[in-house]
A and B are shown apart, each in its own frame.
Chain A
Amino acid sequence: MTDARTNSEDYLRMYRQMVRIRTFEDNANQLYLSAKMPGLTHMYSGEEAVAVGICEALTDSDRITSTHRGHGHCVAKGAEFREMFCELLGKAEGYCRGKGGSMHIADQSHGNLGANAIVGGSMGIATGSALRAKLAGSDDVTVCFFGDGATAQGLWYEVMNMAALWKLPVIYACENNGYSEYTKTEEIAAGSITARAEAFGIEAHRVDGQDVLAVNALARDLVARARRGEGPFFVELETYRYHGHHVGDINREYYRSKEEERDWKENRDPILRFRGWLVAEGIAAEAELEAMTAEIAEDAAAAVAYAEAAAYPPAHEVDMHVFAD
């Protein structure tokens, strides 16, 4: 793996964040399976190195826009379990007072401008955030997360064009997990995805999205350069989702084989790989990482219990927040 030029503390924080995402998702899945969560949700499990590698290169004043598969981005950008589980269960103490839910979770305090249930729907928002930074002369950077499926949306080409013309501090991060819903990427994407960005004169990269250090090293470099006005950039991250498209997508052999899933989980898991590296490099002992995982599991269990017991928003909030005062 590439050296991200960080210290042990940074490495351990990255590891912790990846485990927090996996743990969050395992709990969310459980809430769905036990019929405690209203609606459906999209699991980020398997893609942790993408969100963490990138968000660890950002500060709170940097912004991100997220997707329908957004829990990972939210955690990686600094959100708390409690407010997140409350939001997933539609409770008043959720990040959005229960009005957004899984697909609209936003955490303004850490610069997460929100998940989006329209595929590609936040590409304009991210680019506009970068335009605002440029106009205001501030040096924050915006990262726009989206999936391989979203590259089929025309909006992306419109906003990349403007971002390139105006040299905006935005990084387009395409999480290529090989599928959009139940369709393989090669069936919906002609030619090369990086070449599409390059056509606008945008520097484009491809990186192993299961290697958190490689992702982080690239992200640090691009974020620093975007801050200096060298943006925009495009990154395609090769990754994989472990669950179905959403939690209800259980029988999926008609579009994806069990062998393929097993191969990614056993041989390329971003957490296992990073853990092996941390131990081999002597940065942490197995027992230490075990303890960290156990502590995160306890945190999550406590947050879930809290959220389950928490109150729903009172009825009078239904027509609150339609307009800002």
Chain B
Amino acid sequence: MREITLSRAVNEAIAEEMRRDPRVFLMGEDVAEAGTPFKVLSGLVEEFGPERVLDTPISEPGFVGLAVGAAMTGARPVVDLMFGDFLYLVMDQLCNQAAKQHYMSGGKLTVPMVLRTNLGATRRSAAQHSQSLQALVAHIPGLKVAMPSSAYEAKGLMKTAIRDENPVVIFEDKLMYQDKAPVPEAEYLIPFGAAHIKRPGRDVTLIATSSMVQVAEAAAGTLAHEGIEAEVVDPRTLVPLDEATLLESVKRTSRAIVIDEGHQSYGVTAEIASRLTEKAFYHLDAPVVRMGAMDVPVPFSPALEDLTVPTPGGVVETARRLCAGELIHAA
């Protein structure tokens, strides 16, 4: 199978959906000729024209608000939010407006829009361009959250997001845009709420999101040499969450580590760990361990920044101790 970059996969997904459905359009800062600072959208304005690939002023609440209104009245906007950190600017439009319209109207209004943005530290971009804010979005009823872990997921989840009747936020890891993965030429969609077992194993389940799937896979490779068979599970979407697959895996392995790049406290790892503990308590041989980013603003210095995110080495160490029974009271 051909291999393409995550960036290319996103581009293909959007282009295919724009060809299929004339209601789909793109908007955001420097999305047209520039194709975004990450060049993810290059070529789309040439194919679809400036009417469907709109360069906006630097007005995040404004253009997200426009997308909400356009979606409520029959269009299907895909909005580009240049950095995930800018979510703070659009919280009212996203959480008070988009998320609640369907519910507040008793099911009469819908907001089929996609907000594409990114996450991920270690790009040496410091505290305001490195955050992974998926927990903020996943906390709000009415918003769906997709977390592609490779080019394959990025394409399939984007196509599903564009066809969804609800507001969907997709977080792409900005360090993965050039990572290649096998992606079929033929059209495919990846359903929301369907976790994927990336690597089977029997001793410990590593539940990982986005680029943390690579971290978990690397850790699983090392652990295998030591005789620890780790299962790597990628939930793919946080909302809806495929709880059944996660529980089924943990009931088999009896141990779990949850890895996500958002801050650890009150985060995605906490939510998943809590559900596993509530629903698989009798199957567990050890506490479920959370591995999120440190609870500090992301520092600039590489010497410091690298300390803040989960690493394969850290996961290996934790899994080793978990399987040896060392973390039963210390977790």
Chain A interface residues (CB < 8 Å from chain B): 63, 65, 94-100, 104, 106, 108, 113-114, 116, 118, 121-133, 135-136, 142, 154-155, 158-159, 161-162, 165-166, 320-325
Known A-B contacts A113-B73, A124-B97, A127-B66; A155 and B61 likewise in contact (beta carbons under 8 Å): yes
In the assembled complex, B110 has its CB within 8 A of some CB on chain A:
yes
A121/B97 contact (C-beta < 8 A), A97-B107, A161-B62 known: yes
Question: Do the beta carbons of A124 and B25 come within 8 Å of each other?
Answer: no
For the complex, what is the distance from the CA of A114 to the CA of B64, rounded to whole Å? 18
Partner of B62, one of A114, A116, A159: A159
The A-contacting residues of B in range 36-94, CB under 8 angstroms, are 51-52, 54, 56-57, 59, 61-75, 77, 92-93
Interface stretch of the complex, out of B98-106, B127-135, B146-154, B294-302: B98-106
Q: Is B243 an interface residue (CB 8 A)?
A: no
- Cβ contact within 8 Å between B97 and A94: no
**B11 near A: Cβ within 8 Å?**
no
Instruction: Name A128's closest neighbour in chain B (CB-CB).
Output: B69
In angstroms, Cα B211 to Cα A1, docked, is 67
Is B166 an interface residue when CB atoms closer than 8 A count as contact? Answer: yes
Complex alpha-carbon distance, A104 and B103, angstroms: 10
Instruction: Check B103 against A113 for contact (C-beta < 8 Å).
Output: no
**Residues of chain B within 8 A of A113, CB atoms compared:** 69, 72-73, 109
Cβ distance A6 to chain B, nearest Cβ, rounded Å: 28
Return the contact of B51 from the options A132, A135, A155, A165 (Cβ within 8 A): A135
- 26 A–B contacts, CB within 8 A, in A order: A97-B106, A99-B103, A99-B105, A100-B105, A108-B105, A113-B72, A118-B96, A118-B97, A121-B96, A122-B97, A127-B62, A128-B69, A129-B69, A131-B69, A131-B70, A135-B25, A155-B61, A158-B59, A161-B57, A161-B59, A161-B62, A320-B107, A322-B102, A322-B141, A323-B144, A323-B165
- The B interface is mostly helix, strand or loop, or mixed, namely mixed
Contact, CB under 8 Å: A106 / B104: yes
B240's nearest neighbour on chain A, judged by CB, is A323
Q: Which residue of A lies closest to B103 (CB)?
A: A321
Q: Give every chain A residue within 8 A of B110 (Cβ-Cβ).
A: 324
Assuming A108-B108, A131-B70, A132-B73, is B57 touching A165 (CB within 8 A)?
Answer: yes
Which of A63, A116, A159 makes the CB contact (< 8 A) with B73? A63
Please determine whether A321 and B106 come into contact, CB atoms closer than 8 angstroms: yes
Chain B residue nearest to A98 (CB atoms) is B106
| Cβ-based interface call for B262 (8 A) | no
A306 CB → nearest B CB, Å: 18
Partner of B102, one of A95, A116, A324: A324
Complex contact A155–B62 (CB within 8 A): yes
Distance (whole angstroms) from the CB of A131 to the closest CB of chain B: 5
B69 with A126: CB separation less than 8 A = yes
A contact residues around B112 at 8 Å (CB):
324
- B142 CB-CB contact with A under 8 Å: yes
CB distance from B82 to the nearest CB of A (A): 15
Please name 11 further chain A to chain B contacts, defined as beta carbons within 8 Å, in addition to the given A118-B92, A321-B106, A325-B165, sorted by A numbering.
A96-B106, A97-B107, A121-B92, A123-B65, A132-B69, A132-B70, A159-B62, A162-B59, A321-B103, A321-B107, A324-B110
Residues of B within 8 A of A323 (CB): 102, 142, 144, 165-166
Is A96 in contact with B71, judged by CB distance below 8 angstroms?
Answer: no
Hey, which bits of chain B sit against chain A, CB under 8 A? Answer: 23, 25, 51-52, 54, 56-57, 59, 61-75, 77, 92-93, 96-97, 101-110, 112, 141-142, 144, 165-166
Shortest C-beta distance, B304 to chain A (Å), equals 34
Give bound CA distance, A320 to B73, whole Å: 21
Query: Considering only CB atoms, which chain A residue lies closest to B101 in the complex?
Result: A114
Residues in B with CB closer than 8 Å to A124 are 61-66, 68-69, 93, 97
> Hey, which chain B residues are within 8 Å of A142, CB to CB?
69
Q: How far is the CA of A323 from the CA of B57 in the complex (A)?
A: 31
Given contacts A126-B69, A128-B67, A161-B62, contact A94 B106 (CB under 8 A): yes
CB distance from A96 to the nearest CB of B (A): 4
Contact B75 A132 (CB under 8 A): yes
- Within the complex, which residue of A108, A127, A161 is in contact with B69, where a contact is CB–CB below 8 Å? A127
Shortest distance between the CB of B168 and any CB in chain A (Å):
10
Query: What residues of chain A lie closer than 8 Å to B57, measured between beta carbons?
Result: 158, 161-162, 165
Residues of A within 8 A of B69 (CB): 65, 113, 122, 124-132, 142
Contact B75 A162 (CB under 8 A): no
Give the residue name and chain of the B residue nearest to A160 (CB): B62
Contact of B66 among A97, A131, A322 (CB under 8 A): A131
For the complex, give the distance between the alpha carbons of A298 and B283 in Å.
66
Q: Residue A162 contacts which of B51, B56, B72, B77 (CB distance < 8 angstroms)?
A: B56
Enumerate the 8 nearest inter-chain pairs by beta-carbon distance, A residue then B residue, closest first.
Answer: A124-B65, A128-B69, A158-B62, A97-B106, A125-B69, A158-B59, A128-B66, A324-B165
Contacts A128-B67, A322-B103 given; does A154 touch B108 at CB 8 Å? no
Of A161, A323, A325, chain B has the most CB atoms within 10 Å of the CB of A323
Give complex CA distance A121, B91 in Å.
11
Who on chain B is nearest to A317 by CB? B106
Q: How far is the CA of A126 from the CA of B109 in the complex (A)?
A: 14
Known contacts A63-B73, A135-B25; A114/B65 CB under 8 A? no
Which single member of B25, B77, B105 contacts A106 (CB below 8 Å)?
B105
What residues of chain B lie closer than 8 Å to A158, measured between beta carbons? Answer: 57, 59, 61-63, 65
Q: Is the CB of B106 within 8 A of A128?
A: no
| Chain B min CB distance to A102 (Å) | 12
Chain B positions within 8 Å of A95 at CB level: 105-106, 108
Distance, CA A120 to CA B275, complexed state (A): 38
Cα distance, A159 to B104, chains bound together (Å): 24
The answer to whether B107 touches A162 (Cβ under 8 A) is no
Q: In the complex, what distance in Å separates the CA atom of A119 from the CA atom of B41? A: 35
